Structure 1
Amino acid sequence: MSETNTLAAFYAFSGGAVWLLGSLLFIGFDKVNTQANRWLAAFYCILACTFTQLFLEGFEIGGGFLIHLLELPRWAMLPCLYMAVSHYASPSLPKKDWFLHFVPFLLFLVFSLVYLMPDLFNEQNHLPVLPPWIRFLVRYFFFGQTVYYWIVCFTLLRRHQKNLKMVASFTEKIDLEWLRYLLVSVLFLILIRILSISNIHVTYYSPILYFLGIILLAYSTLTQKSIYAIEPYRPAEKDETAPKKAMNERLTVEQVEELNDIVMRKTVGEKLYLDPSLTLSVLSAKIGISTHELSYVLNNGLGKNFYQFVNELRTEEAKSLLLSEDTKHLDMLGVAIRAGFNSKTTFYTTFKKATNLTPKEYIKANSAAS
């Protein structure tokens, strides 16, 4: 076996790994993220077709019909990834226009069935010669589609992570950080494909590079966390921006200040922020105002989102606890939980941002001052 064939064998490893990954997702190793996982499984199965095609071409196995059959679903690959990310980021929102993302794939499928595939059954078993503009479209549309959908997927994820801080005071278990690593892995595969067109060295080692990218994809996918909705919410542009005009019409500056006083008095006076599971809707119910009004007051009266507002109050509580004789027996996790934080990570991050000191540095600095 030549060295080229040895490298091409990595396409088989990649294809086999992705087929297995897609199968695991489809049969449902995670019983919570079922719908999103099935879209991601479809993405992986189509990606597996691509690697299978590259393997067959590298070893000159199979005819033109089989190669084209494996290439056929490629235009549906990135729309499947988009649908998966969309379901992960907002599982409760309806996806009414999902079929529009698959129109290019359906058009290519019809074009293949009518114009391309009949010629694959003739004696030559090869595709017909296409006009230059069609060859250009077929060759480069997929690259453009890939870049577009990756950007859209990443934007959806970033918007989701931003929206979380509008309604939740803890994000570690619901921020889809694993999905960010998955998208970075997909970007790695995209860059390999783009660079392999112009760089012969990348082309030569691309089978190994693809395999490394698949390992990253598999790790990201298998470490995903189950998505449990903390409360129903709409994306920020609908939930926070759309009502802004109505809020301006309904609330005067004096009313905002009055509501601001109520929010601070109830939240601080009754120490509602000590509840580690506190969310926007829970706090609004305890205060007695709507979630829109509470969000508007926080954003415009205090200049903070919900996440910042609650965790800054918890930081002030933690400052007192760290210097109190009554809590000297607690470790840092104990202090974090007593202050209302859901995790040590959020505690350390928020505390360092507010004080420019770690909790231990804060204790040391204040001990020296006294």
Structure 2
Amino acid sequence: MTVTENMLLFVVSAGIVQAFFLAALIFFNPRGDRSVNIYLVGYILSLTVPMFAPLVQHFYSWQRVLYLAPVLLLVAPFLYLYVCSFREQITFRKAWPHFILFLIAVAIEAYIVVKIAPLYPPSKQVPPEVIHSPWPMARVYLRLIQMLVYIYFAGRALSSYQRSIQHLYSETSRIDLAWMRWLINGFLVLTIWMIFFYFMILKFPEYFKLIILINTAIVTPYLYAVTFKGMTQPTLWQARPKVSREEVLEEIHIVEETEARNQKSTLNPERKDDIVARIQGLMDNGKLYLQAELTLQDLADQLNTPAYQVSQAINEGLQKTFYDLVNGCRVAEAQRLLLDPKNRNLKVMAIALDSGFNSKTTFNTVFKKFTGLTPTEFKEQHQTQTVAA
């Protein structure tokens, strides 16, 4: 082996050991939710097991590597189920159909190992005619298609989850959805890399082992990042310790039910206008938006109206999400406070708290989203205009 191959083999070996260790940390993390993390652990392990391929090929023969191939069909389903587990209870009945393709691949691979692999002499180098034969090419194309399909559905599930949050909560800083988007996009990049490396193998079959080593080494830092973020990613019910998982999932179900009802327009105009008027009254006169942790259910309780009707009234009557409604009011209040001469000496954090925000970071982010300026820039701009006038 060359020095480069030895170094890559060491990186891969270290990555495998640490990936198993980090997966165990996630699974046994006392602060995590095991019903969610089990799918992240499955995702990490199904990415890790194929990393044994260069080691198996180095110490045994290329035929033994065939045993690892079906595991790649587990990666995308585990990613999809992990994303879905944040917004619904994933039972065995819901999960197992996603692994049917893996079970079929195991059976096919067993046939190949028994009937086809023995036709070639055991060696560490894969014969070029094997690489270019129809059955391995068909397997690779099948895996790539499956991965791309699941990436698409994982993205849709995440978008649905994000819409649910926007409809249910006015404060979302503790739920970092950007990391989940990064997780999906990271897997998409890995899939594209796999496509590139596969065509490199077809063109340069004599460098099969080196190409696989490079591809495997690239996965290692991604696994580190996934593990770190996975350990720090809270679920909705963990971000709201006073609310049970069942209650949160029921709230998400309400949002989905509302979207279905919206398509059927079940809320008559008079009822809708009445709810909208009462919402605006609570916001304008009652200043309900000053409650930092205000939720759709809190507003529904104040109105003594079913949450799905409140959500539908906001969506159809005001053409907004609950998140935009509440935070629009908070930003308007912050603008009023920032322009009030009495508050000249107040710090930005004080303005944020007085407007219903619970952190300076969230205040700056939301304020800029609605106005295009940070609170400080907004205040300075107004002062400049006042002096010029």
Task: Report the TM-score when normalising by structure 2.
Answer: 0.81
Which of residues 274, 278, 281 in structure 1 aligns to 2:294? 278
2:162 aligned partner: 161
Give distance in 1, aligned partners of 2:309 and 2:114: 60
Which of residues 83, 99, 104 in structure 1 aligns to 2:101? 104
Gaps of 5+ in 2: 241-247
Distance of aligned partners of 1:256 and 1:312 in 2 relative to their CA distance in 1, 3 Å threshold:
same
Given that 1:39 and 1:80 are in contact with CA atoms closer than 8 Å, whether structure 2 keeps it comes out as: yes
**Relative CO higher for 1 or 2, CA cutoff 8 Å, sep ≥ 6?**
2
Give distance in 2, aligned partners of 1:279 and 1:193: 43
Question: SS of 2:237's equivalent?
Answer: coil
1:138 aligned partner: 139
Give distance in 2, aligned partners of 1:167 and 1:138: 43
Give distance in 2, aligned partners of 1:2 and 1:198: 23
For residues 234-266 of structure 1, give each alpha carbon's deviation from its aligned partner in whole angstroms, at most 9, with x where no partner exists: 3587323211255x34412x3322221111112
- Structure 1 residues 356-365 or 224-233, which shifts more? 224-233
Give distance in 1, aligned partners of 2:88 and 2:263: 28
Following superposition, the deviation at residue 95 of structure 1 comes to 6.6
2:40 aligned partner: 40
Distance of aligned partners of 1:117 and 1:217 in 2 relative to their CA distance in 1, 3 Å threshold:
farther
2:234 aligned partner: 225
2:206 pairs with 1:209: no
Question: SS of 1:234's equivalent?
Answer: helix
Q: Give the AA of the match of 1:233.
A: E
Which of residues 368, 374, 387 in structure 2 aligns to 1:358? 374
Given that 1:192 and 1:210 are in contact with CA atoms closer than 8 Å, whether structure 2 keeps it comes out as: no
Q: Give the AA of the match of 1:324.
A: D
- Structure 1 residues 205-214 or 95-104, which shifts more? 205-214
Give distance in 2, aligned partners of 1:369 and 1:337: 26
Q: Give the AA of the match of 1:165.
A: Q
Given that 2:83 and 2:154 are in contact with CA atoms closer than 8 Å, whether structure 1 keeps it comes out as: yes
- Structure 1 residues 261-270 or 223-232, which shifts more? 223-232
Give distance in 2, aligned partners of 1:304 and 1:214: 38
Runs of 4+ in 1 over 6 A off after TM superposition: 118-123, 129-132
2:51 pairs with 1:51: yes
Distance of aligned partners of 1:208 and 1:42 in 2 relative to their CA distance in 1, 3 Å threshold:
closer
For residues 191-240 of structure 1, give each alpha carbon's deviation from its aligned partner in whole angstroms, at most 9, with x where no partner exists: 22122223579948545433343343344334423542653323587323
2:182 aligned partner: 181
Distance of aligned partners of 1:245 and 1:162 in 2 relative to their CA distance in 1, 3 Å threshold:
closer
Following superposition, the deviation at residue 141 of structure 1 comes to 1.0
For residues 94-115 of structure 1, give each alpha carbon's deviation from its aligned partner in whole angstroms, at most 9, with x where no partner exists: 5742111011111122334456
1:191 aligned partner: 192
Following superposition, the deviation at residue 121 of structure 1 comes to 8.5
Distance of aligned partners of 1:250 and 1:81 in 2 relative to their CA distance in 1, 3 Å threshold:
closer
1:78 aligned partner: 76
Following superposition, the deviation at residue 308 of structure 1 comes to 0.4
Distance of aligned partners of 1:139 and 1:208 in 2 relative to their CA distance in 1, 3 Å threshold:
closer
Task: Report the TM-score when normalising by structure 1.
Answer: 0.85
Give distance in 1, aligned partners of 2:92 and 2:286: 41
Distance of aligned partners of 1:187 and 1:61 in 2 relative to their CA distance in 1, 3 Å threshold:
same
Following superposition, the deviation at residue 349 of structure 1 comes to 2.3
Q: How many residues align?
A: 363
Following superposition, the deviation at residue 275 of structure 1 comes to 0.4
1:116 aligned partner: 113
Distance of aligned partners of 1:245 and 1:132 in 2 relative to their CA distance in 1, 3 Å threshold:
same
Following superposition, the deviation at residue 360 of structure 1 comes to 1.4
Given that 1:157 and 1:180 are in contact with CA atoms closer than 8 Å, whether structure 2 keeps it comes out as: yes
Question: SS of 2:251's equivalent?
Answer: coil
For residues 124-182 of structure 1, give each alpha carbon's deviation from its aligned partner in whole angstroms, at most 9, with x where no partner exists: 5699x899664443232111111111222222122211221011111121243322222
Give distance in 1, aligned partners of 2:372 and 2:170: 20
Identity %: 22
Q: Give the AA of the match of 1:101.
A: H
Given that 2:50 and 2:71 are in contact with CA atoms closer than 8 Å, whether structure 1 keeps it comes out as: no
Question: SS of 2:5's equivalent?
Answer: helix
Give distance in 2, aligned partners of 1:322 and 1:11: 55
CA RMSD of aligned residues (A): 3.2
Distance of aligned partners of 1:209 and 1:175 in 2 relative to their CA distance in 1, 3 Å threshold:
closer
